[in-house]
Homo-oligomer: A and B are copies of this chain.
Amino acid sequence: MASLIKDLSKLCVHTQTTKSWGIEACVKNYSEVGIHGITIWRNVLENKNLTEVKALLDDHGMEVVSLCRGGFFPSVDASKRKSAIEDNLWAIVQAQAVGAPLIVMVCGADVDQSLEKSREQIAEGIIRILPAAQSAGVKLAIEPLHPMYAGDRSAINTLKQANDMAEMINSEWVGVAVDVYHLWWDGTLKSEIKRCGDQNHLFAFHVCDWNVPTTDFLNDRGLMGDGCINIPEIRGWVEDAGFNGFNEVEIFSDKYWSTDQYTYLEKIKQAYITKT
């Protein structure tokens, strides 16, 4: 059973959830309404002085939960694989600079090679950046993505595959991010969450909802309660597996992005208390 959500102390919002806001607006507006967990998407750090961003976060009492996103390792092109490694090393520098203890990795896939080959390259990529992550004190979370993204976004599409890879790499710095949107349909989810927790690999928990019908492959995620995912049940499994970190709200939604973002943030708070 999930614990009762009584306050906002474990609520984290992804900057991409309020896409039109830059990092300053996110920090100011989240903290003003009592939200002190933030996951920073890298687009809001472009052309920013990271020391100043860190000061801004500290001044507003924000806890950085993670940096989104690393990964995208696979390619048939060796030079692209090399660029991906460099980009992930830069993400580690960014994460350390803004005080993010974790990078969430969307692992990638290349449509021109098999999923097995892409998974090999994902493992190679993670192993390559692991020393830098460890020395920066930044953990890495493999995020399995919904099978509808297997073509070009991630060759890791089930929690089992993410668990398999984390266990194969076998480092306390490499774990898994569980996102209900990607995994809710999987009949093995409960047992794989337990396995993930038992191995101390459960690093992050992301929430939103699956709209029925869903009309867009990327930007039609629902606010908690809008759709068909039993979020409290899955949160219960995650907590039973030993997770006590933030519940991260990660919603990509053309519908909500087109509304007033202050009102939307209030809706997120309410849905977090009542539907998560």
Contacts and interface: CB of A to CB of B under 8 A. Distances in A.
Contact of A228 (B111, B158, B160): B111
B148 A161 contact: no
B228 A187 contact: no
Interface string A142-168: 000011101110000110110000000
A270 B2 CA distance: 55
A244 interface: no
B146 A158 contact: no
Interface in A46-105: none
A230 B148 contact: no
Given A152-B212, A217-B213, A187 B115 contact: yes
A114 B210 CA distance: 13
Nearest to A187: B161
Contacts of A213: 151-152, 217
A111 B230 CA distance: 11
Interface in A104-160: 111, 114-116, 146-148, 150-152, 157-158, 160
A242 interface: no
A116 B189 CA distance: 12
Nearest to A158: B187
A185 B160 CA distance: 14
Residue from A115, A147, A215 whose CB has the most chain B CB atoms within 10 Å: A147
A185 B228 contact: no
Interface of A: 111, 114-116, 146-148, 150-152, 157-158, 160-161, 184-187, 210-215, 217, 227-228, 230
7 contacts: A115-B187, A147-B186, A148-B214, A150-B185, A151-B213, A152-B228, A158-B187
